[in-house]
């Protein structure tokens, strides 16, 4: 190309990087009333099994990260695990993603917990207007040139 390309937006070139094992763990918290949690765990939500649907949505979200976030690379996911823990003030959502890739899986793990939380919100919003999603954050990552990270 003879003309300069203006670089106000660009996808990082990972072509020269080595494929390594990458693991990332993220969390989100969704504040729910006690009565909403009871409805979830007694399967009294009209839209269906909240936990199963939310976990499935989170896995699908992780798989579609590069379709949603413009500058993320498509990476092959070896696994996506989602755990939803019942806590006094709501539900703690954890995701763990791993891949053999040239770039990390942090965004996939963060998207997984975000979509899981949004699905719970969607399924419960008709009777609980006070639902709040908080603490979406990376807990740890392993692999890659920048090294390991743990919150």
CA–CA dist 32, 29 (Å, integer)? 9
CA-nearest of 24, 14, 25, 23 to 102 is: 14
Residue 120 · residue 50 · CB < 8 Å = yes
- Mean pLDDT estimate for the chain: 92
Q: Looking at per-residue confidence, does 8 or 28 come out higher? A: 28
CA–CA dist 144, 21 (Å, integer)? 8
Active site residues: 122
Residue 2: pLDDT over 70: no
- CA 61 to chain CA mean position, Å: 7
Query: What does the pLDDT read at residue 109?
Result: 98
Residue 119 · residue 54 · CB < 8 Å = yes
Write the pLDDT tens digit of every residue in 49-64: 999 999 999 999 999 9
Burial 87-116 (b: 16+ CB within 10 A, else e): eeebbbbbbbbbbebbbbbbbbbbbbbbbb
Query: What does the pLDDT read at residue 3?
Result: 65
Domain 20-143 CATH superfamily: Molybdopterin cofactor biosynthesis C (MoaC) domain (3.30.70.640)
Query: What does the pLDDT read at residue 1?
Result: 47
CA–CA dist 133, 138 (Å, integer)? 15
Residue 8: pLDDT over 90: no
pTM of the model: 0.91
CA–CA dist 116, 56 (Å, integer)? 8
And the tokens for 142? Answer: 């392993």
Query: What does the pLDDT read at residue 6?
Result: 67
Write the pLDDT tens digit of every residue in 60-104: 999 999 999 999 999 999 999 999 999 999 999 999 999 998 888
Across residues 109-131, what is the average pLDDT? 96
């Amino acid at each position: 190309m003879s003309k300069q390309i203006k670089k106000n937006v660009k996808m990082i070139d990972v072509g020269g990087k080595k494929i390594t094992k990458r693991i990332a763990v993220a969390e989100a918290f969704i504040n729910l009333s006690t009565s909403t949690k009871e409805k979830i765990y007694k399967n009294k939500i009209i839209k269906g099994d909240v936990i199963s649907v939310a976990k499935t949505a989170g896995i699908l979200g992780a798989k579609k990260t590069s379709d949603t976030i413009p500058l993320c690379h498509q990476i092959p996911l070896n696994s996506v695990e989602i755990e939803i823990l019942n806590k006094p003030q709501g539900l703690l959502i954890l995701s763990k993603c791993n891949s053999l890739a040239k770039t990390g899986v942090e965004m996939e793990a963060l998207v997984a917990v975000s979509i899981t939380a949004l699905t719970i919100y969607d399924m419960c919003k008709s009777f609980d207007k006070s639902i709040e999603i908080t603490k979406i954050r990376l807990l740890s990552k392993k692999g890659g040139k920048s090294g390991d990270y743990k919150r």
